[in-house]
A = this chain, B = another copy of it.
Amino acid sequence: MNTTSIKKIIMDKGIQPSHHRIKIYEYLLNHHTHPTVDMIYKEISKEIPTLSRTTVYNTLSIFLEKGLISSITIDENEVRYDYNTTPHAHFKCIKCGNIYDIPLDTKLFKKKTIKGHKIIEQHIYFKGICKNCLKKMQS
């Protein structure tokens, strides 16, 4: 996707498309690895050496607030970010650390309430050993 299209998506959410913001969103679009703040910071720093972690935090907060991206918490300690805002599940491998998208079409996602409570968000994730690591362990 080119910079012009990215800029448009950002602006459509009512966010000023500054250079840094474009770069950060572009990174999320091109790396579906559910990166942490630090991963994003380290990578974009290579291009923009003056970038600060604060800007990454600020930018991701704005993106979240405006619904441009979503966040997931599988690791207890750090938040991960996802360009994908549609409901889906995640699988985290305890061996390699990779996080995979799991496009579940469970009826759960369609529920509006549960046990009388009104659902606003729902999160489903798995932890285990991924396909690739299983293969490595067998050989």
Contacts and interface: CB of A to CB of B under 8 A. Distances in A.
A135 to B, nearest CB: 9
A18 interface: no
Quickly give the copy total for this chain: 2
A108 B124 contact: yes
A138 to B, nearest CB: 12
Interface in A89-131: 91, 93-94, 100, 102, 104, 106, 108, 114-131
A79 interface: yes
A91 B76 CA distance: 18
Q: Say whether chain A's binding surface is mostly helix, strand, loop, or mixed.
A: strand
B126 A119 contact: yes
Nearest to A134: B118
Interface residues of A, number: 32
Nearest to A75: B73
Contacts of A125: 122-123
Contacts of A74: 73
A129 B126 CA distance: 25
Contacts of A131: 115-117
A24 to B, nearest CB: 19
10 contacts: A91-B114, A91-B117, A93-B117, A116-B131, A117-B126, A117-B131, A120-B126, A122-B125, A122-B127, A123-B123
